[in-house]
Structure 1
Amino acid sequence: MLNWIKGLLGVFVLAAAAGCGGSGGDDHPGNIVEVAQGDSRFTILVEAVQAAGLADTLSAPGPFTVFAPTNDAFAALLGELGVTKDQLLGNKPLLTAVLKYHVVTGAVPSSAVPLGKPIRPVEGGFFKVDKQGSDLVITDGRNRTSTIVQTDVEASNGVIHAVNKVLLPADKNIVQTAQANADFSLLVEAVSAAGLADTLSGPGPFTVFAPTNAAFAALLGELGVTKEQLLADTALLTQVLTYHVVPGLVLKAEVPVGTPIKTVQGGTFAVTPALAITDQRGRQAGIVATDVLASNGVIHVLDKVILPAP
């Protein structure tokens, strides 16, 4: 009887600490599932974990780090997907993929989150976390953002960080991501004309420095050719396009500034501290947007087409 009372008191203390924004004052918190069950903000998450058959996994020794969506986050997701809660909970493959995307192996406190670098959940894929002011903001595989609203809720088998939006894994590769952006229509035409669409749709990962339509229009004037002439010269086109592709996943935080970066084409370019690229002809292009995530890599946006050595 005494042990039962102690256990009950422990649950109440843990729930009170989590509700007050603390990291858990009990020396013996429950496991991740038990902590979530004791917090009224996570009732839908608990239902989802049970519906997906993941309760036993998240009760195991781990350790795990769970980026835990609140009830409000799940409610917003239902509106975004146009489904009811019952429909979401009934779609076990989707539910399992989404929930596992929120789980990282190992206990990662907020102080150890690798800012700006790929974080790889157990489901596969990746997302990143950036510091924006005083907030920690997650960018998921679909380039949606979620804010971590509470950090370092302790559990016996890991740690929970509460998030205000459900994360979703990527559903588009690099080519599909470019196709969905009207400002890359010339790039998409060029990739198709060079026969590179299948390659850039492959597993990768790839880092693509992607010129905008305005960048391609400026190149046509610089070379004195029409779009049709450029697209017909597949040898030149292939050289130019592969010069924009770097093997591997290189997010902005990991771009080696001032060091030659080797491309798939074989040539190199360098990036300045101001995020400008100097190509092998001494021309400069500005990186105007970074870290557009895709299932097989990342896109950084350029305002000028870069050229390999002639």
Structure 2
Amino acid sequence: MRIDEKRDENGVYVTLNELLKFGHVAKGFSFLPSQPVHSILSGRHGSKVRGRGMDFSEMKQYVQGDDPRSMDWKATRRTGKPYIRVFNEERDRNVWLVVSQRNSMFFGTKMMMKSVAAAHLTAISAFRVVGSGDRVGAVVYNDETLKFFKPQRSKQGVIHILSEVVKQNQALHASNSNNTKDRLNEALKIVSATAKHDDLVILIGDGRAMDEESTRYITALSAHNDVIAALVYDPMEKELHASGSLFLSDGTVSVDVDSSSQSFQKRFSGRMEERVEGLMHLSKKHTIPLFSISTERPVLDQVQEQLGAAVSAKRRV
């Protein structure tokens, strides 16, 4: 499908130009171990983000102000003078974005579709990763196919990923009927086979494709890598407003329901609660940070609030 740069329908679809604009504003948060106190990745929330490894650089004589925890006691005893070991931070950590553009993401009642919010989050994350000196790779998938991108530390690599996101996003339509869950597991299988130790895997989607196999893959990944889950949702999934007759369709079957029925509202919201509870259980059991992205507000604001600190624009770095 040709990417149509003019197909920008107020939050229904995204364009490449729209996503590239995030390259200038993807600031105010970090995926590194050192976190602001308000970040869900900070230690007080029980999260773990290993961050990059450390390479030994040199030995140097201790001077006032150096970190005593870096003291090399063997060299100190041997020379009779205090020495410390100096390390340089590795700059080639791989960060994997697992991005859903499934039909279930083509839903939204507020500012944007869930698929658009996921695309925004992908762009924001990819530009932040590359801006931090790390490599970003991705698996972008929908109900019919998936596309794998090897990690790169370049803007061109980000553009390749975002171009595929736009392609799959613009292929979404209310009449699409295929809604398989297999693609998520295929994506996780690929990342599981290619991720190194201490990589970071960021899952971006609405959680509707999660099953027992997905849980097994995520559990295995989290044993040697960091995993962060981003749940993209629409407020209407949490609470269905009573409006009488409501027409619903999955692209194949259409139904007309009474949304004012309390029993229907309870069942409807219960599906979302069940999905969130499952993700929360997985998050708690394997120390996987979980944050949520709503379709009713700008995505960058939500990312900065949850993964960074509530700071003014002048202080964002």
Alignment TM-score, normalising by the size of structure 1: 0.23
Q: Rg: which structure is higher? A: 1
